[in-house]
Homo-oligomer: A and B are copies of this chain.
Amino acid sequence: MQTQPILEGNRLALSRLLTQVENDAPEGRSALAKLFPHTGRAHLIGVTGAPGTGKSSLVNQLTLHYRKAHQYKVAIIAVDPSSPFTGGAVLGDRVRMRDLSGDDGVFIRSMASRGSVGGLAQKTAAFVQVFDAAGYDIIIIETVGAGQSEVDIARLAHTTIVVEAPGLGDDIQAIKAGILEIADVLVINKADRPGVENTERALRSMLELAHPTKRIIHHHGRMMTLEAPVTDAPLWMPPILKTIATDGTGIPELAEAIARHKSHLHQSGDWASRDRARLRSELEAVLEEELMSRYLNGSHREAYEQALEKVIRREWSPYEAVRALLNGK
């Protein structure tokens, strides 16, 4: 596959390549390899939060702002738990198309969350590389939902925005706690609704609780392999912003907070360390998949199937089976 049209921003070529990458076609892999040296420039922004917070409208408004105020090229990757029945045509998409279609500086692509989580994070990472190489200044990774997989995907980003809304029900408390540790910017959307003060107070007290250990916690989980964090770098305290995405209130302030976070990342050395952590986990994921596929497609297949039968008959536990397979017992 020719990669020159991609580098020049040809939309049709871009669209074709994304499909090849999504289908894990060999042409996609070889194009990715050719494009990879051209990556590393885009600002990756993750947007996550519980259902009903109005994330999609917020992303639309932010994109419109970037287009009008800065003429940035913006790509949106919407990671979307659509089912095979609906074919991914969720309600938000129609609103999105109305607001943003017809602008050549915006590229929107949905990705269904069928299949394994690992696969999804890996494909999202590959999409990011394609848009980065194609010269998009801003790449927004929007995830519907607030589970661990969404958190993993948001962690691909340089700047993670967690969206809340007033009064979303009782176990929202738990979600907030789990997701706060990845937030660089907190947004209370639908800020014209009742209960906004309560939401803000709750977020603020959780943030203050989190503050002393913020830097350590930031490098948890998938980020555990991150090398030597810069210890005397300035601390980043996630700001809490209020927006009303439907009428654009608070959007310029949000763009401003994101820009400040970007400067902070560069000053503190975190831009480089996040880049490093992201590439390390991408490399690990590809290696893991390839090791497994070589094992199962090689001469071990029969032994593996026999081991599985023993597990099903409860003669071996899965751990015993793996030990026997790998030690050739």
The answer, among B116, B209, B224, B322, for a CB contact under 8 Å with A286, is: B322
Which residue of chain B has the shortest Cβ distance to A167 in the bound complex?
B52
Contact B171 A312 (CB under 8 A): no
Distance A290 CA – B316 CA, assembled complex (angstroms): 16
Which residue of chain B has the shortest Cβ distance to A206 in the bound complex?
B85
Chain A 23-56, CB within 8 Å of chain B: the 1/0 string? 0000001001101111110000000001111111
Interface residues in A157-212 by Cβ distance below 8 A to B read: 165, 168-175, 177-181, 206, 209-210
- Say if the beta carbon of A249 comes within 8 Å of chain B: no
Binds B, one of A12-20, A67-75, A256-264, A275-283: A275-283
Copies of this chain, tallied across the complex? 2
The answer, among B147, B171, B177, B279, for a CB contact under 8 Å with A311, is: B279
Chain A 75-98, CB within 8 Å of chain B: the 1/0 string? 000001111111000111000000
Chain A 308-328, CB within 8 Å of chain B: the 1/0 string? 100110111111111001100
CB A47 to nearest CB in B, in angstroms, measures 13
Which residues on the B side are within 8 Å of A53 (C-beta)? Answer: 169
Contact A174 B314 (CB under 8 A): no
Contact B308 A280 (CB under 8 A): yes
CB A79 to nearest CB in B, in angstroms, measures 9
With A276-B312, A292-B284 as given contacts, are A86 and B144 in contact (CB-CB < 8 Å)?
A: no
CB A178 to nearest CB in B, in angstroms, measures 3
Contact B175 A81 (CB under 8 A): yes
- Say if the beta carbon of A301 comes within 8 Å of chain B: no
Contact A283 B307 (CB under 8 A): yes
Which residue of chain B has the shortest Cβ distance to A34 in the bound complex?
B317
- Say if the beta carbon of A221 comes within 8 Å of chain B: yes
Which residues on the B side are within 8 Å of A318 (C-beta)? Answer: 279, 282-283, 285-286
